[in-house]
Structure 1
Amino acid sequence: MKINIFATADIHGRVVPYNYGTNCPTDNSIANLHSAYKALKDENSILVDNGDMIKGNFIEKFVYFHRHPAIEIMNFMEYDLWNLGNHEFNYGLDNIYRLMNDFKGTTLLANSNGNFTPYKIIEKKGIKIAFIGIETLFVNEFEAQQLGDFKITDPVDVLDSIIDEIREDVHAIIGLFHLGLSDENGVVHAGILSIIDSMKHKKYLDAIISGHTHDGFESFKYKDILIAQPPAYGRGLIKLELDFSEKKLNRINSKIIKSSDYEPDEDIIDIYEPYHKKILEFTNKILGFVDNVEGDYNYDLEDGPLVHLITDVMRFYYPADVVAFQLDSPDTKMKNGFLRRTDIARFYTYSGGEVSLYEITGSDLKEYMNWSSRYYIYEDGELKKNPKRQSFKYKTFDIFGNIKYILDYRKEDRITCLKRLDGSDILDEDKLIIGMNEYRMNYLMSDMGPLKYKNFQQISSSQYIQKGFENYGTIRELAEIFFDGLPENKFVYNGKTNFEIKY
């Protein structure tokens, strides 16, 4: 007998095949995946989601609506299980409980001190399969301010305890882990492999559906446990095939079903149409105007108008001595004229990016900049991307604004010039306020980071600016306030360059 488990993860608002950041149709969405699921499912099929459903592609604009469209779609598709992802916690526990109440399936979360369902046993023709939901420890860092005493706990003990409790009563145990393979930012048990290494009862865990890191892989075997991760953004789902004989699990296979191989489901298109129209109206609002910004720029290797715009937006929150950010959009080409919300989203792709403030020294800044520069390696007279650094979830080459610097790849200490805009040198002992993303700073101070012996305390963060019920402190949202404060709402690039890359 075969039981098929179909799994999605990290949908991030891709309900219909449309990217509201680029204002373009796509071929990936949950609507496409529903067509695939309808074509492939049978009476012995189980449908699960492994987190990060409610934020991304501007679907978060409906997070406080009476009905969240993501939950409406999940109910329409008859999802059996929903394992919470870290972005489900972006809007507080009360909102999670409300969404859980609206969801007709079962919501899972085993490793927390909250009141959640840790596991669910689903029976198909006498075969009992247990699903255990595990969340990333990084929720405690991402959402510390608004979750209060709620904590995500280390998953190892709770996994061993649950498995010990249920292993005699079920025929297979599947983990829904909103985690990647490796320990994120070097934090032990923030990755699947270190969790497995520490478990006492790992031999009873048959397979793990991964998520969070947006890697999307069909099959990875570790200590006889099959691990698979659905492609993010609705690009595909995992079909996990469990083959039983006399209620004994004989074999597990996994495969990726590509979204692009199926047309979007018309019913989902119709359900989402009112939301689609509202998002288009929202994203196409003109925020302001830009001038002297046209040109072909490689923003990793040269300064230009977008660097100055993001720098000014970040320093609008607080006039930091230096700001740091990354640009990983494939389309950063600017045009003179009006600038819409969708353009800001296209240029700056990280929807949760905020400005957090820390006091560092000039020496710390140099260490950070040298580490960042090693995203590229210099070989045979040309720059190449470092394969190891490309394996990170997010791009790790940062741009530094409001300072002057020269980055010379021909030298071991690549920072050959570091000055303030007034031309004065930034000395090792100088104290500086840096504005940057909290997630990046947490990595820099981790055991794997270049500033691992430091413990910088956050002075302030734009993520706690409130406007109505929503956080209003992301860089995208700060851009709106920034343009409101400009004469005639216009940003004009002054043509200056503040950094130079040599190789």
Structure 2
Amino acid sequence: MSGERTVRLTVMGTTDLHGNVFDWDYFRNTEYDDAAHNDIGLAKVSTLVTAIRNRISADPHAPRPLLLDAGDTIQGTPLAYYFAKIEPITGGRPHPMAVAMNAIGYDAAALGNHEFNYGLDVLREFQRQLDFPLLGANAQDWTTGLPVFPPYVLKRVHVPGEDPVTVGILGLTNPGIAIWDKAVVENRIRFGGVVEVAKAWVPRVRRAGADVVVVAAHSGMDLSSSYADALPVPENASALMVETVPGIDAVLVGHAHQEIPERLVTNQQTGEQAVLTEPLKWGMRLALIDLDLRKERGRWKVVGRQAQVLNANTVDADPEVLAVLQRDQDTVIEYVNSRIGMCTQAMSAATAPWEATTALDFVNFVQADTVAKALAGTPEAALPVLAIASPFNRAAAIPAGDVSIRDVAGLYVFDNTLLAVTMTGAQVGEYLEFSAQYFQQVSGTGPFTPDQVTNAPTPTAPNGTPDYNYDMVGGLTKPLTYRIDIAKPPGSRITDLAYGGTAPAPDQQFVVALNNYRQAGSGNFPHVTTAPVVYNRQVEIRQLMIDYVIATGTVDPSAFRTGAWSLVSGGAPVVVTPG
């Protein structure tokens, strides 16, 4: 009789929580909302998890469900930043994400790339605070190649009236960490490819006794790499992993911030299928993987599989999770809303992807000004200084009048640090040409909607180039001006490039301020990874912007407004009208 019995094991999953516990927009100081009316945060997830657990526990024959996460947990909101930098957990305070995840009862989590943003001391302290293992089979010691985090965990799940099911949970993180957080991991941790390391570890997990193998992979579903061939292994490879590595039953996918309720992928060697799911980001969704198991030759085997995602906006937040972290939340809200200065004119990033804005000019001014002052007295002090910025957050705005930390932080939502390199005029032009791939090729001057001209798909971004991979370049003491002709194909779009009104000589030297992600190779932009570094004090750009407002007291946009670039089609201005 037992050989014919089928039981259903449910595995719940989250990913890319990015410091979200509360359904709160810290930059707008209000409840979170977006065009799709999503809700966010672990408190909402907790309610969904409890409902699933209650439903399953009502079935006397069902094994208890598992709860996993696929990484990027401790970076992304002021709540996460505050307990990494302002009152860091290395001083003894528990991390809000650890408190929340422990309260909800996670069974395991994979490392994300953003776990490394604040350095290994913060990451290790976060790991110690968790009641469950933080997994990363491909985070390997620089010298020995051995994992420096647990590669997997075995969970023995009770099945009423039967032998327990042994579930092997393998964690894999993103090899791009080697580029994105080079300063943190170089000479300490190296990162093997997702597929290559899975090939080595899945059989070990099976030999260790796993009836079922579930992978929590911080690597997107479909094959692509933002860093192109800068690393020998791809950034996003979860589907390829299942196709080429036998023995995987299910994958909780992370990193790409996509909603993929269910995808079935067949292994090329065995013909067996695995189910993959990616539950969007920030706690907007909870993934449900249902694996039907049956005994074969005395061992449990997966004989059916399916997945779906549940929407967090269908439930109320768990009051117990809210209560345990309300004090931390109040502290952070008070911090981000503290007044630090005033601004004479409002600045908005709403149109920054398709036209020059004072908001992005402000970012570039602070970067370039910081570098120029730091280089005083050095051989590079006489070189003209440029800076590079991306439209990270179209919703960002600094109001006229009082300015708070959250106003400034909204312009720069990542924890990137500032570097500077030297580049030639020819290299700057090639850099701008590469960046201009962000725009779609059009005929005529419009009017166009933003989605008709921006976020063009490329071989390395088949779903569209994200805003954070579009860079604009500005000058400090003189403007760097250029036009982008989007009637032309990529590679021949930059026209009228000039510095201070004069076309730069191909060999003219510039100091270029940029963030650590870009300099390390993120986006695979040309020249910057090999350009000589002349400034690197590992100071966060966002904090430099906050410090500038505090120091000056009054921000006057006319002091750094450039209007230095524009979109054209056939030489005529392009009109972009938001819908």
How does the TM-score come out when normalised to structure 2? Answer: 0.78
The answer to whether the Cα contact below 8 Å between 1:407 and 1:416 also exists between their aligned partners in 2 is yes
Q: How does 1:128-277 map to 2 (within 5 A)?
A: 128-147=166-185, 149-155=187-193, 156-168=195-207, 169-181=209-221, 182-184=223-225, 185-186=227-228, 187-193=231-237, 196=240, 202-223=245-266, 224-246=273-295, 247-277=300-330
Change in CA separation of 1:295 and 1:443 when aligned onto 2, cut-off 3 Å: closer
CA distance, structure 2, for counterparts of residue 410 and residue 115 of structure 1? 50
Residue among 453, 475, 482 paired with 1:384: 453
- The alpha-carbon deviation at position 229 of structure 1 amounts to 1.4
DSSP-derived class of the 2:468 partner: coil
- What residue ranges of structure 2 are gaps of 5+ in the alignment? 1-6, 33-38, 58-63, 142-146, 267-272, 373-383, 447-451, 570-579
Residue among 393, 399, 403 paired with 1:329: 393
Is residue 405 of structure 2 the alignment partner of residue 358 of structure 1? no
The residue aligned with 1:76 is 103
CA distance, structure 2, for counterparts of residue 295 and residue 194 of structure 1? 38
CA distance, structure 2, for counterparts of residue 419 and residue 327 of structure 1? 22
RMSD: 2.6
Change in CA separation of 1:502 and 1:394 when aligned onto 2, cut-off 3 Å: closer
- The alpha-carbon deviation at position 5 of structure 1 amounts to 0.6
Residue among 468, 471, 474 paired with 1:401: 474
- The alpha-carbon deviation at position 14 of structure 1 amounts to 0.9
The residue aligned with 1:53 is 73
Is residue 438 of structure 2 the alignment partner of residue 375 of structure 1? yes
Change in CA separation of 1:445 and 1:431 when aligned onto 2, cut-off 3 Å: farther
Which amino acid in the other structure matches residue 405 of structure 1? Y
- The alpha-carbon deviation at position 496 of structure 1 amounts to 4.8
- The alpha-carbon deviation at position 92 of structure 1 amounts to 2.7
The residue aligned with 2:83 is 62
DSSP-derived class of the 1:233 partner: coil
CA distance, structure 2, for counterparts of residue 148 and residue 133 of structure 1? 21
Change in CA separation of 1:273 and 1:188 when aligned onto 2, cut-off 3 Å: same
Is residue 60 of structure 2 the alignment partner of residue 7 of structure 1? no
Q: How does 1:417-428 map to 2 (within 5 A)?
A: 417-420=496-499, 422-428=500-506
The residue aligned with 1:414 is 493
The answer to whether the Cα contact below 8 Å between 1:308 and 1:493 also exists between their aligned partners in 2 is no
Is residue 533 of structure 2 the alignment partner of residue 493 of structure 1? no
Change in CA separation of 1:456 and 1:222 when aligned onto 2, cut-off 3 Å: farther
The answer to whether the Cα contact below 8 Å between 1:444 and 1:450 also exists between their aligned partners in 2 is no
Change in CA separation of 1:18 and 1:267 when aligned onto 2, cut-off 3 Å: same
The answer to whether the Cα contact below 8 Å between 1:213 and 1:393 also exists between their aligned partners in 2 is no
Q: Look at both structures and tell me which one has the larger radius of gyration over its CA atoms.
A: 2
CA distance, structure 1, for counterparts of residue 523 and residue 28 of structure 2? 34
CA distance, structure 2, for counterparts of residue 37 and residue 384 of structure 1? 41
| Cα deviation 1:268-296 (Å, max 9, x = unaligned) | 11111101111111101222221134689
CA distance, structure 1, for counterparts of residue 130 and residue 182 of structure 2? 25
| Cα deviation 1:394-439 (Å, max 9, x = unaligned) | 532222111122223344532221222x323212221222111232
- The alpha-carbon deviation at position 497 of structure 1 amounts to 2.5
Change in CA separation of 1:195 and 1:317 when aligned onto 2, cut-off 3 Å: farther
Residue among 138, 144, 151 paired with 1:118: 151
The answer to whether the Cα contact below 8 Å between 2:344 and 2:554 also exists between their aligned partners in 1 is no
Which amino acid in the other structure matches residue 343 of structure 1? D
| Cα deviation 1:316-336 (Å, max 9, x = unaligned) | 320362111111423244431
CA distance, structure 2, for counterparts of residue 475 and residue 93 of structure 1? 20
DSSP-derived class of the 1:167 partner: helix
The residue aligned with 1:459 is 534
Change in CA separation of 1:194 and 1:492 when aligned onto 2, cut-off 3 Å: closer
Which amino acid in the other structure matches residue 431 of structure 2? Y
The answer to whether the Cα contact below 8 Å between 1:359 and 1:456 also exists between their aligned partners in 2 is yes
- Identity in percent: 19
The answer to whether the Cα contact below 8 Å between 1:238 and 1:257 also exists between their aligned partners in 2 is yes
Residue among 119, 123, 135 paired with 1:92: 119
The number of equivalent residue pairs is 487
The answer to whether the Cα contact below 8 Å between 1:483 and 1:491 also exists between their aligned partners in 2 is no
Change in CA separation of 1:74 and 1:308 when aligned onto 2, cut-off 3 Å: same
DSSP-derived class of the 1:212 partner: coil
CA distance, structure 2, for counterparts of residue 301 and residue 205 of structure 1? 44
Change in CA separation of 1:282 and 1:364 when aligned onto 2, cut-off 3 Å: same
| Cα deviation 1:36-92 (Å, max 9, x = unaligned) | 110112352001111111122112211323211111111111111121212222233
